[in-house]
Amino acid sequence: MFQKTLLILAIAAASTTLHAQSTPAKKELVARILKVQQPGMDMLVRGLVEQPALEMMDRAGQALPARIPAERREAVAKDIQADAKKYVDETMPIVRDRAIKLAPTTIGALLEEKFTEDELKQVATMLESPIYAKYQTLGGDMQQALVSKLLHHAVAEMGMYRKTRLNFGALNDAGARTVDDETRSIMESQSERLYGETKALLGRLKPLTEHLAGKLMDAGEMSLKEALFEIRSFEAACFSFDAKVGLTGAPAQQPAPDAA
């Protein structure tokens, strides 16, 4: 039984090896694919190299105010930035060369295992196609177009904008693009409209605010239930006055305190 199991495993292993068998043609196709994908691998390497530097600068930025006198902070911060840049500049070529050497035995081996020679040929042809390259260059433009229209909807139709908090940089494509003048104009006008509406609302509530402030000063402290009673009493009194001078046809109604 044990020998039979070994035989089955051996046949299965042989079948897998046959399916994943590498050929010179496959290796050539994989090399073409890796060459086209090199910019993406470079970005991956840069991210791996820059991450420790960014974390170091972040920790240093948090520690500087507590450990370095104010007059020396700017100079120390510049030294830290220079060290971080030197680390990235020196480490990036080393890691990039290592990634290039590892790619054929990692990514390449996976491609050879999972794809047939015909499939690899199709992948390589697609990646090398000028049309596909053109499509990739439109990624930022397509994102910008969507964000621009979405922003118009959010600002003009939903009012989702506060001038002091909107991060324009977050709407850019890696800082290379800016918000267009039309969008910026809509955002600013919407901000002014919201500010005016808020100011008008607070102006209408000023008498109530002054009434509550007076009651609070008299009482020294006030519970939520007492504050709500004062608000309702104030509103009822205003309603009663309006009814007396003919500003409303509804009868005045004095609220009763909430039960304890």
Is the pLDDT reported for residue 172 higher than 70?
Answer: no
Q: What percent of the chain has pLDDT over 70?
A: 69
- Tens of pLDDT, residue by residue over 77-127, are 888 888 888 988 999 999 999 999 999 999 999 999 999 999 999 999 999
Please state, in angstroms and rounded to a whole number, the distance separating the CA atoms of residues 52 and 54: 5
| Co-location of 88 and 130 in the same domain | yes
Contacts of residues 42-49 at CB distance under 8 Å and 24 or more positions apart, as own/partner, are 42/96, 44/99, 45/92, 45/95, 45/96, 45/99, 46/88, 46/92, 48/95, 49/88, 49/91, 49/92, 49/95
Please state, in angstroms and rounded to a whole number, the distance separating the CA atoms of residues 166 and 169: 9
| Co-location of 55 and 103 in the same domain | yes
| Co-location of 29 and 126 in the same domain | yes
Looking at the 3D structure of the chain, how many domains does it have?
3
The answer as to whether 13 is a domain residue is no
Predicted confidence at residue 26, as pLDDT, reads 93
Please state, in angstroms and rounded to a whole number, the distance separating the CA atoms of residues 71 and 192: 40
Mean pLDDT computed over every residue of the chain: 74
| Co-location of 183 and 210 in the same domain | no
- Tens of pLDDT, residue by residue over 38-90, are 988 898 898 888 888 888 888 888 888 888 888 888 888 888 888 888 988 99
| Co-location of 47 and 111 in the same domain | yes
Per the CB < 8 A criterion, the answer to whether 143 and 171 are in contact is no
Q: Which domain holds residue 93?
A: 18-137
| Co-location of 26 and 125 in the same domain | yes
Please state, in angstroms and rounded to a whole number, the distance separating the CA atoms of residues 190 and 196: 10
Number of CB atoms found within 10 A of residue 109's CB: 14
The answer as to whether 6 is a domain residue is no
| Co-location of 151 and 195 in the same domain | yes
| Co-location of 124 and 36 in the same domain | yes
| Co-location of 198 and 214 in the same domain | no
Per the CB < 8 A criterion, the answer to whether 65 and 73 are in contact is yes
Please state, in angstroms and rounded to a whole number, the distance separating the CA atoms of residues 211 and 227: 11
Half-sphere exposure (CA, 13 Å, Cβ side) for 1?
0
The answer as to whether 237 is a domain residue is yes
| Co-location of 113 and 156 in the same domain | no
Question: Of 203, 224, 252, which one is at a domain's C-terminal end?
Answer: 203
Q: Which residue has the higher pLDDT, 212 or 29?
A: 29
Cα dihedral 152, 155, 161, 163 sign: positive
Predicted confidence at residue 132, as pLDDT, reads 86
Instruction: Give the confidence band of 202 by pLDDT, cuts at 50, 70, 90.
Output: confident
Query: Amino acid identity of 192?
Result: E
Per the CB < 8 A criterion, the answer to whether 121 and 111 are in contact is no
The answer as to whether 254 is a domain residue is no
Please state, in angstroms and rounded to a whole number, the distance separating the CA atoms of residues 203 and 200: 5
| Co-location of 31 and 126 in the same domain | yes
What's the start-to-end Cα distance of the chain, in Å? 84
- Tens of pLDDT, residue by residue over 109-119, are 999 999 999 99
| Co-location of 126 and 151 in the same domain | no
The answer as to whether 124 is a domain residue is yes
Q: What is the DSSP string of 23-59?
A: -HHHHHHHHHHHHHTHHHHHHHHHHHHHHHHHHHHHH
Per the CB < 8 A criterion, the answer to whether 123 and 32 are in contact is no
The answer as to whether 253 is a domain residue is no
Question: Of 137, 155, 173, which one is at a domain's C-terminal end?
Answer: 137
The answer as to whether 3 is a domain residue is no
| Highest mean predicted confidence (pLDDT) among 8-12, 72-76, 160-164 | 72-76
The answer as to whether 11 is a domain residue is no
Per the CB < 8 A criterion, the answer to whether 252 and 233 are in contact is no
Predicted confidence at residue 2, as pLDDT, reads 36
Please state, in angstroms and rounded to a whole number, the distance separating the CA atoms of residues 146 and 160: 17
